[in-house]
Amino acid sequence: MQAHATVARESTSVPTGRVGVWWFLASEIAIFGGAVACYVLFRARYPDWADQAARTLGWAGAFNTAVLLTSSLSAVLAHHAAVRGEAVRASHMLRWTAVGGLVFLAVKVYEYAHEISAGLVPAQSLFWSFYYLLTGLHALHVTAGIVALLAVAASARRGHALGRVELVALYWHFVDVVWIFLFPLLYLSS
């Protein structure tokens, strides 16, 4: 009896894992895209939302933008290390990326605590409902990204499945790009 090995079948020159991640990200774009489109349509209808956006902690959103951009850089460096076969460095850079995600979440918790204590809750207005929906959904994706980053970092450290470094980095870049859209929509008043 012959043992069957699992073989990644490719109909193109693109690796199957990369195609799978791109399909997954396409579905995530549909989720965020629909929610953002609804927000934009409502914001155009209700210009007073600009006043409510001015009540968010803009400095915290700007800081988190810098944190995510920096963490995306460490994800790129992890991918470059993996391509060169530098497993320990790839693992190290993925852990730094995860630290960036943890900093992002800590700032988000601070923001939520500040806003909730000021009475800025979803029941306050439709703006705050969208704010918590979009930032909460994004924070959930950051959390999932941190878990994936740490799992891949652990296997990369042992030199296993270095190709997954690219896949988790793609996901992290998606998380970063989503925030780049959310920050000006939710935090800037103009």
Q: What is residue 173's three-state secondary structure?
A: helix
pLDDT for 9:
54
Which pTM was predicted?
Answer: 0.90
Q: Hey, what domains does the chain have and what are their CATH numbers?
A: 16-187 (1.20.120.80)
What's the N-to-C CA distance of the chain in angstroms? Answer: 69
Going by the DSSP 8-state scheme, the letter that residue 2 receives in this structure is: P
pLDDT tens, position by position, 11-30: 668 888 899 999 999 999 99
The segments of the chain whose pLDDT lies below 50 read 1-7
Closest C-alpha among 115, 118, 154, 150 to residue 136: 115
pLDDT for 69:
96
Closest C-alpha among 79, 73, 71, 77 to residue 18: 79
